[in-house]
Amino acid sequence: MKRRSLLATAGAALASAPLSRAFAATVVGVTATEIKIGNIMPYSGPASAYGAIGRGHVAFFKRVNEQGGIAGRKINLITLDDGYAPPKTVEQARRLVEQDQVAFLFNPLGTPNNSAIQKYMNQKKVPHIFLSTGADKWGDPEHFPWTMGWQPSYRTEAQIYAKYIMKNAPNAKVAVLYQNDDFGKDYLIGLKDGFGAHYSKYVLKEFSFEVTDATIDSQAVSMQATGADTIVTAATPKFAAQMIRKVYDMSWKPLHFLTNVSASVGAVITPAGVEKAVGIITSAYAKDPTDSTWDKDAGMNEWRAFMKQYLPEADVTDGGYVFSYGACTTLVQVLKQCGDDFSRENIMKQAASLKNLVIPTLLPGVTINTSATNYHPIRQMQLSKWNGKTWELFGELIEGTGA
Amino acid sequence: MDGFIHQIVSGIASGGIYASVALALVMIYQATHHVNFAQGEMAMFSTYIALTLIQAGVPYWAAFCITVPVSFVIGALIQRVVMEPLAKAPVLASVGVFIGLLLTFNSVAGWIFTYTLKPFPSPFGEGKPLFGGFVSRHELGSTAVTLVVLLSIWAFFRFTKLGLAMRAAAYNPVSSRLVGVPVNKMLALGWGLAASIGAIAGMMVAPVIFLDPNMMAGVLLYAFAGALLGGITNPLGAVVGGFIVGIIENLGGAYVVGTELKLTTALFIIVVVLTVKPAGLFGKTLVSRV
């Protein structure tokens, strides 16, 4: 009895995976007519605003399918809700991999959420690509060859600030405020990469805070007391808004670099006070849908046309849709490069073989490059300054240091 | 030196935040002999009510005056609907309910008002900071409000019959009932007052730390430390405790243990007080006959 069921399973596996007969490559979730892709998003819970990204994905692949699919196959995107809770992410990832048998996971959202499934995905050798998080650890092909990020990492961003400071303010005295977790510490590491041997010359002192703290006032006071004239704030929106206001209230006017995690006009700048944030510098890699610079931009027109046709009800000022469009366009390129070999090995290989890929929603000049040793697809950013009304891009594209 | 003074002043300002929430904790403890873990979330919810009113065009002080009684009703209703059936249940059951309330208020607020950070106006105006840039108008104003609330509570418990009846109802429900104190009404009143004080605290805190459903999570912990340090049976003690915790936290964070151990300092205070002087600095040691 046992043997017969075993044989039956083997037979079924053979029948469903004709491509895998010849060599060791594993084809799962791809048939002659379909490519099955998994995705996990916080459609409910505290981070549910990011659910827009998932809705963008669904609309995007609807368009891909209407235009004939990829290599004659329709995309079947299964997107599940984890409520931004890592245990739930694990459950959904297992469901997608074991029950739904998807070819790979695309763009699951959240640093703690992806941390929770990274080991599992790599053990199962299922591609876990273009994650919706800026942690630096997604670019570690040596230890996690099946995981790859997409957006510039926090570390890259910090490297870029350091580069800018060294070039434009060589006598700067820097104080750093960072959140005492993976996110905040990535910035410290990035600043250390960027300043290199000059780190101690530039950085007077680093100040940490816990997400459970009520305020960062004490840290702000200490930072001013160090005599710093430049500050780098690596804080989530609530503390970033507090910092902007406290610095203003202390009548302190340092050159202020703010993580782009907290550059949201609605969630940070407006609550803190638009006039209090004037002069703050952050960085961007994608076009801002609210920036009038891109009103006649071909890439953004393409995006707007897509939004109008496939997501007519959606809020077009929500950057989540721009993000989604960029990530999906990158994925389409990977699938096209796969040719007719949709084994997991080849999908991962092609994800790591992107060369000077231009994405319509990214800033002009930003290109996507990956290789077997570079799992950081986007590594260029441009700085932008808050002028009281909007973020204004300035200067050239700056590329992060190191790999 | 400037930095040192600034740290102390900033500590007093955060201490004022902790003190105002600590007062609500004292209130509920005086009235029910329980510490309500959901106090912070109820205050946060009241603050959203105030914000909704203000956004609808109601002037600040009018919104303030509406929010406080509305919060009173919500507090009293919770006691009537949720707590009363548990009157004879063990303490652990109440603790379970408090945690349930905490989660409920948090999620409902997120659901109705979203998790996006919202600015909350200060009634004391923006303006330039006072006293050489050390104190903002709001810090000064909110500290004054905390002191007024403190005085009212103290006077209420000290000089009014109702205050006395409430203390009696919490301390010894059976005897109180025998001498004619309507114990259940007193408990509902206590919940209502605590919710009102929480609402005031929330409205004073929100302009400083911004309003979002998780606004009170951090504050409540420090408020506990403050209330325990000063004595959870004594409103004055709780306020003094709140200020002390604020100052210790700031000075400790800036000069002694470093910013990473600021929160640990608050927890350390709780443990030390509970071991050395469980009644707190100003608290009376209550002896219950068993």
pLDDT tens digit sequence for A5-57: 544 544 444 444 444 444 457 899 999 999 999 999 998 877 888 889 999 99
Q: Which two tokens stand for residue A263?
A: 């550059």
pLDDT tens for residues A133-158? 999 999 999 999 999 999 999 999 99
A108 and A177 belong to one structural domain: no
| pLDDT at position B283 over 80 | no
pLDDT at A296 over 60: yes
Interface test with B, best of A215, A236, A276 (most B CBs within 10 A): A215
| B7-25 pLDDT, tens digit each | 888 888 889 889 989 999 9
Sort out which chain A residues have CB atoms less than 8 A from B209's CB and list them.
Answer: 214-215, 238, 242
Q: What is the torsional sign of CA B120, B124, B126, B129?
A: negative
The DSSP bridge partners found for residue A399 are A380
Parent domain of A341 = 23-152+298-372
Q: Which of B117, B128, B138, B257 to mutate to test the interface with A (most CBs of A within 10 A)?
A: B117
CB contact under 8 A, B3 and A251: no
Q: Does B100 touch chain A (CB under 8 A)?
A: no
**In chain A, which among 164-183 make CB contacts under 8 A with chain B?**
180
Give pLDDT, residue A102.
96
A36 with A110, same domain: the answer is yes
| A212, A221, A249 member nearest B218 (Cβ) | A212
- Among A215, A221, A224, select the one facing B208 at the smallest CB separation: A215
Distance from B111 to chain A by nearest Cα, in Å? 8
> Is residue B286 very low, low, confident or very high in pLDDT (cuts 50, 70, 90)?
low
Judgement on whether residues A214 and A236 belong to the same structural domain of the protein:
yes
Alpha-carbon dihedral of residues A337, A342, A343, A348, nearest 10 degrees? 30
Residues of chain B found within 8 Å of residue A266, distances taken between Cβ atoms: 116
> Which residues in chain A touch residue B218, judged by CB atoms under 8 angstroms apart?
212-214
Within a domain: A17? no
Count of domains forming chain A = 2
Going by the DSSP 8-state scheme, the letter that residue A382 receives in this structure is E
Is A222 within 8 Å of B13 when comparing Cβ atoms? no
B131: left (phi over 0), alpha (psi -120 to 50) or beta: left
Q: Look at phi and psi of residue A279 and say left if phi exceeds 0, alpha if psi is from -120 to 50, else beta.
A: left
3-state DSSP assignment of residue B29 = helix
Instruction: Give the residue among B159, B29, B160, B249 at the shortest CA–CA distance from A209.
Output: B249
Q: Which amino acid is at B246?
A: G
**Rounded CA gap, B223 and A297, in Å?**
53
CATH number of domain containing B99: 1.10.3470
B129 Cβ under 8 Å from any chain A Cβ: yes
Do A302 and A267 share a domain, yes or no?
no
Are A222 and A126 contained in the same domain?
Answer: no
Q: How far apart are CA A347 and CA A356, in angstroms?
A: 18
Q: Residues A48, A81: one domain?
A: yes
Whether residues A206 and A336 fall in one domain: no
| Residue with more model confidence, B275 or B46 | B46
Range of the domain at B228: 2-276
Cβ distance B118 to A180 less than 8 Å, yes or no, reads no
Instruction: Report yes or no on A377 lying in a domain.
Output: no
Same domain, A97 and A193: no
Summarised one tens digit per residue, pLDDT across range A199-253 is 999 999 999 998 888 889 889 999 999 999 999 999 988 899 999 999 998 889 9
Nearest CA in chain B to A241: B210
Residues A37 and A165 placed together within one structural domain of the fold? no
Residues A272 and A159 in one domain: yes
Number of domains in chain B: 1
A242 at interface of B, judged by CB pairs closer than 8 A: yes
Closest to A121 in 3D by CA, of A140, A6, A24: A140
- Total beta-carbon pairs less than 8 A apart between chain A and chain B: 98
Q: Which long-range contacts (CB under 8 A, 24 or more apart) does A142-147 make?
A: A144/A118, A145/A348, A146/A121, A146/A122, A146/A348, A147/A114, A147/A118, A147/A121, A147/A122, A147/A375
Average pLDDT over residues A85-109: 96
Query: Cα B239 from chain centroid?
Result: 10
Comparing alpha-carbon positions, the chain A residue that sits nearest to B108 is A45
Do residues A190 and A318 both lie within one domain? no
Facing B117 at nearest CB: one of A213, A219, A268: A268
CATH code for the domain in which residue A334 is found: 3.40.50.2300
Do A187 and A123 fall into the same domain? no
Interchain pair A242, B209: CB under 8 A: yes
